[in-house]
Amino acid sequence: MTSWVGRSATEITSAVREKRATPREVVAEHLARIERLDARVGAFRRVRAKEALAEAEELAARDDLAELPLAGVPVAVKDNLAVRGEATRNGTAATADVPADDDHVTVARLRAAGAVVVGVTNVPELCVFGTTEGVHGTARNPWDTTRTAGGSSGGSAAAVAAGLVPIALGNDGMGSLRIPAANCGLIGLKPGHGVIPAGIGHGDWFGMSENGPLATTVEDARLMFSVLAGIEPVRPTGKAARKIAVSVRSPFPGVTISRPYAVAARDAAAVLTEAGNRLRRADPPYPFWLGTTSLAHWTAGTAVDAEDLDLRRLSRRTRVHATIGRRTVGSVRKGVRREQLRRRMEPFFAEHDVLLTPALARRSPAAAPWHERGWLRNVLVNTNYSPMTPPWNLTGWPAMSVPFGTLPGGAPCAVQLVGRPGSELDLLEVAAQLEAGRPWRRTAPLD
């Protein structure tokens, strides 16, 4: 009997559409793997076993099954996006345990494409931090379960890396897709502003948060991106000879890039040169105020999301984060610094098609009760391991994490690709060149 666990979404949907597999058997196999392994990984807050099997049966009866781009593909959804019939807890005890009446638009698009939602994934409280733990569970990196999966889309990334689902939905406000994707050896694409519907929290963190795919292959990421963006599935153009800047400089003064991540970026540059691109070493003109601006936006987003909640039910680190953010909400709303950053970066991206950087500065922190530790300690740990992602939320431009190489302990390493507005498909093509030149292992060896 063919096993569909560990297969790509593209393989699964082809089999279902051609009636070589049924949606129910595909979903049932993934649910069995979740039951067997998720206690070690902590990806899911809620597994929809009964509901998913029923939805798979309904899907099989659809007249248009052979036309659905994600027919029968199990998918996981981050717990800050509404799933019909499920509560949206956002990683906290301060939210109501009340089922949503309707799907978030991105969830609705996945369902309309034939995907089956098998569960809702763990996040840190209010999706604030780059580690995933709290009252609903701890998401661990399947490649090294002593380490966090990252955050805030940590549960979604852990689910894909563990082979519990082939693809998952997450979102990114300061790196929340790219950070866990980098930790867990996945493609994580943060689209540019307005490409995929957002609707995350109260105002999308002032327009910085974007929904996007987590996948193990570039082909799957491209397929899921097209569904989420509401566009026809696209094929690679084969365009080469892009002008690519390589930078291993941290955007934040005083934060250094560890050797494994710097080496990964340089080695990736060599692969892309061999693929026919024009590479040169060039650092973006990061302004001296980028660190303080990032902190102001990060905390202000939390302040807005916490406005309607009982603060007594939030962890201390979240309360402090929100309290600090209330002082900067007014200035952040004006968007002056974000516009200044865009203007500063535009000449650089007029000269270069793509920026290649390390995805992280160092390996992920331990899987520990960070929600019980102090605010400053959390901020310092997050900043020191993930300084590379925030600039591109502030500009609103597309950026993605791509697996590349391994860390000394054997866990995945990763690089980041950044492009100008509207370049999501170009970034995916560059990622495909990296995938072809240095293929990565797709699923963590948990069995």
**Active-site annotation, residues:** 78, 152, 176
Residue 421 — left, alpha, or beta (φ > 0 → left; ψ -120 to 50 → alpha)?
beta
C-alpha–C-alpha distance, residues 74 and 53, integer Å: 10
Angle, helix 218-229 to helix 105-112, in steps of 10 degrees: 110
Please say whether the beta carbons of 386 and 250 come within 8 A. Answer: no
**Strand, coil or helix: 186:** coil
Please say whether the beta carbons of 242 and 31 come within 8 A. Answer: no
Cα dihedral 326, 295, 208, 114 sign: negative
Helices (H) and strands (E) in the chain, counts: 16, 13
**Prior bond of 315 cis (ω within 30°):** no
Cα dihedral 259, 430, 158, 131 sign: positive
